[in-house]
């Protein structure tokens, strides 16, 4: 089982020495990314997209560390978008895309094959085009040749995972201007402030027993993690958290959202990673905790324990039923966590803060991004460098 060194997490110097590309520092700039993206979008002429005629449909293309841009826009637009919005990771471009449609392509490097191919085909068909990515990149060139709008990403983040808000902000500004989502600049300014507050709360110098991101990292370190959102909005945050756990902390994690995922998640409580499923044979007490009398030489190493990270929306206030989790969602999430604890599952819960959906989503994503990065560092891993990912790129280049 992986072993996390809590003392390492409380040493700022140790964290900096292992974090070779400054992943923690990049996550702390999320609020600044939002503010810089405002300026970059205006300078690029985002009004040419947001202030024009409403398109017949919108297609958003992003993948990898940028893929959550699709998910965020999809969940925000779903309740009231006046036009269809679809997402696509790879080519081909759907046959119905034409001059009346808008294609948004996002890639931090501006070189991701899927968004690049989709943007190029959209330009060939005469569709309106908004691209977000590195300046002087192939994606920027496609936008220029297609008379689209390209927003430069002014970020030195070590990966697209750490540059989320540089990529997402211009897309939200354009979508708000087109009336696809309700996300005006004042809301995004509050998001920037919230991200600053989260960065201060999760700073490296904050000790592990008070730093919420470090608490999550410690709690997940010796588990097989399942990340579960209590609804559609938190389901996006759960998907992002699972991706960060896998790509940043190298922890294989599954994810889902209630109500659809309730049965499949609860079914795992009968499996080999819980005490009720017989998973207490090696180093586990009957309640699922660590057996202090277990002998690692005679009994073998402790078996991994199932860990549930429940990502929860704030309860909806009485005067705004759409402003959070419904009573039914709260009850279902409570029932799942109660079942998990009874089965000996290690349960951690995080709850969104803020009023607007994008604020609540930002509060969750920022916290779990920091948690995954601290988990990587606590396990002795550089968050931004994976030997196997590098080898995969070499073998497929």
Question: Domain spans of the chain?
Answer: 28-193, 207-392
Q: Does domain 207-392 have CATH number 3.40.50.10490?
A: yes
pLDDT at 397: 72
Domains 28-193 and 207-392 share a fold: yes
Sheet holding 346-351, edge to edge: 254-257, 223-229, 305-312, 346-351
Distance in Å from the first CA to the final CA of the chain: 34
Full-model pTM: 0.92
As a whole number of angstroms, the longest Cα–Cα distance in the chain is: 72
pLDDT at 281: 44
Residue 234: its H or E element: helix 232-247
Q: Mean pLDDT by 10-residue block, N- to C-terminus, for the chain (397 residues)?
A: 82 95 95 95 90 87 88 88 89 93 95 94 96 96 96 83 94 94 94 98 95 97 94 96 95 94 90 71 53 57 84 87 85 96 95 95 98 96 89 82
Fold of 28-193: Rossmann fold (3.40.50)
- The pLDDT value recorded for residue 286 is 54
Mark 217-249 as b/e (b = at least 16 C-beta within 10 Å): bbbbbbbbbbbbbbbbbbbbbbbbbbbbbbbbb
Task: Return the pLDDT at 310.
Answer: 98
């Amino acid at each position: 089982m992986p072993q996390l060194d809590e003392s390492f997490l409380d040493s700022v110097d140790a964290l900096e020495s292992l974090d070779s590309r400054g992943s923690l520092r990049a996550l702390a700039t999320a609020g600044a990314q939002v503010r810089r993206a405002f300026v970059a979008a205006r300078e690029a002429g985002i009004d040419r997209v947001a202030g024009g005629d409403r398109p017949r449909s919108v297609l958003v293309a992003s993948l990898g560390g940028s893929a959550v841009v699709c998910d965020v826009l999809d969940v925000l637009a779903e309740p009231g978008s006046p036009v269809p919005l679809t997402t696509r990771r790879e080519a081909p471009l759907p046959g119905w895309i034409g001059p009346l449609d808008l294609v948004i392509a996002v890639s931090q490097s501006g070189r991701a094959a899927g968004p690049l191919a989709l943007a190029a085909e959209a330009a060939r068909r005469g569709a309106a085009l908004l691209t977000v990515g590195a300046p002087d990149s192939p994606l920027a060139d496609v936008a220029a040749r297609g008379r689209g709008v390209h927003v430069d990403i002014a970020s030195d983040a070590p990966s697209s995972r750490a540059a989320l808000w540089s990529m997402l902000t211009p897309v939200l500004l354009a979508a708000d201007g087109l009336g696809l989502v309700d996300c005006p600049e004042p809301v995004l300014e509050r998001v920037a402030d919230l991200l600053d507050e989260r960065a201060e709360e999760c700073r490296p110098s904050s000790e592990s027993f008070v730093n919420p991101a470090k608490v999550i990292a410690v709690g997940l370190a010796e588990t097989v993690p399942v990340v579960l959102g209590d609804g559609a909005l938190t389901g996006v945050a759960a998907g992002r958290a699972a991706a960060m756990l896998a790509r940043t902390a190298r922890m294989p994690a599954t994810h889902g959202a209630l109500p659809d995922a309730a049965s499949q998640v609860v079914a795992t409580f009968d499996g080999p990673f819980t005490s009720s499923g017989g998973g207490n044979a090696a180093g586990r007490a009957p309640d699922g905790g660590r057996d202090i009398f277990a002998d690692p030489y005679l009994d073998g190493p402790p078996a991994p324990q199932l860990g549930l990270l429940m990502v929860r929306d704030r309860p909806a206030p009485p005067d705004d039923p759409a402003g959070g989790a419904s009573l039914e969602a709260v009850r279902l999430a409570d029932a799942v966590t109660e079942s998990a604890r009874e089965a000996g599952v290690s349960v951690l819960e995080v709850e969104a803060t803020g009023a607007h959906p994008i604020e609540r989503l930002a509060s969750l994503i920022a916290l779990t991004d920091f948690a995954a990065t601290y988990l990587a560092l606590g396990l002795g891993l550089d968050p931004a460098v994976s030997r196997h990912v590098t080898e995969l790129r070499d073998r497929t280049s």
